Amino acid sequence: MLKDLGSPTTRRSSPRSAFRSAGEAPLRSVGMPSTVRRRRTVLILVILACFTLIVLDARRSAGSPLEPVREAAASVFGPLESTATSAREPVDDLRDRFAEMDRLKAENERLKQANEDLTRQLTTSDYARSRADELDKLLEVAPKYTMTPARVIGIGGAQSFSHTVTIDAGTADGVRVDMTVMNGVGLVGRVVRTTQGTATVLLIGDRNSTVGGRLNQTMALGFVSGRGDVAGTLDYKLVDPKARPKVGDRIVTWGSRGNAPYVPGVPIGIVTSVTPNAGALGSTATIKPYVDPTRIDTVGVVTGPPARPPRTQLKGRGN
């Protein structure tokens, strides 16, 4: 027991064991900077290698050492890229088609709106031009009569007469029943009903309309009556059964007592055909009116006697 406790071997080994036990930590701590240096060295070498490869590849020479690598990568990734592109193309095409459809739809709407605007402008221009023409024609005949201008604002059905129009002038404008209504080309009809702001006009083409008419060339008198058709066709019968109207003869009003309901000298229409009366003397002429009853807009109501200079007094030769 004394040998074991006091053995030199035991005494010598104990300090070294204690030293190693106490020195293990310092040995490990001394080894860490070496590991860091090795990692830094590897990183530097990798960076240098990459830089070298970049420089070599930038030369783009035929003998570039990266050419085999590039070819190998192209052979591997090329088919994958082509497949991905092929798979993406239908999606891209579909997206492009939707975008094109939206663009075409927007363009179509824009062109449609522009076309509607142009059509509206053209229609308005045509209407304004037509009204201006009618007004010009009315002004040409206005000096012969005292008249009130008016516009047609209604036609037929809603009124008590079969062939009538409503105008926007009434008693407040001096319009009365049995006044002559005309436009720039001829006779329209006569006033049969009035309100303060409107008047109803019976067209000469109505079955209940009869107008005294005179042949413009022979001065022969007759009566013009309507047939009641849409075109406003008229029949003309002469007072003298021996008188014979001819195709192309023009008919004008001969006038009424007190210029009501018709003033004299207003054009009515033109003879288009002549038919002998069956079993009786005389003949009946078909008249095409100058005024188209389906296209009446601006009219004039004759509110006073025809304008004319004073008549010249006739004196005998002995005076």
Nearest to 206 by CA among 170, 165, 167, 266: 165
Is 145 exposed, middle or buried, given 0-12, 13-18 or 19+ CB atoms closer than 10 A? buried
Range of the domain at 298: 145-304
What are phi and psi for residue 20, nearest 5 degrees? -65, -35
Q: Residues 138-171: pLDDT tens digits?
A: 777 666 778 888 999 988 754 444 689 999 999 9
Within-domain flag for 32: no
Within-domain flag for 42: no
Within-domain flag for 271: yes
Q: How many domains does the chain have?
A: 1
Within-domain flag for 135: no
Nearest to 245 by CA among 208, 210, 203, 277: 277
Within-domain flag for 95: no
pLDDT for 127 equals: 64
DSSP letter at 306 equals P
pLDDT for 309 equals: 57
Within-domain flag for 120: no
Which residues in the chain come in under a pLDDT of 50? 1-31, 158-161
pLDDT for 248 equals: 93
What's the CATH number where 192 sits? 2.40.10.350
Nearest to 269 by CA among 167, 181, 188: 188
pLDDT for 82 equals: 63
pLDDT for 60 equals: 54
Within-domain flag for 291: yes
pTM: 0.57
Q: Residues 250-300: pLDDT tens digits?
A: 999 988 888 889 998 899 999 999 988 765 667 889 999 999 988 888 899
Cα 85 to Cα 72, 93, 95: the distances in Å are 20, 12, 15
Within-domain flag for 244: yes
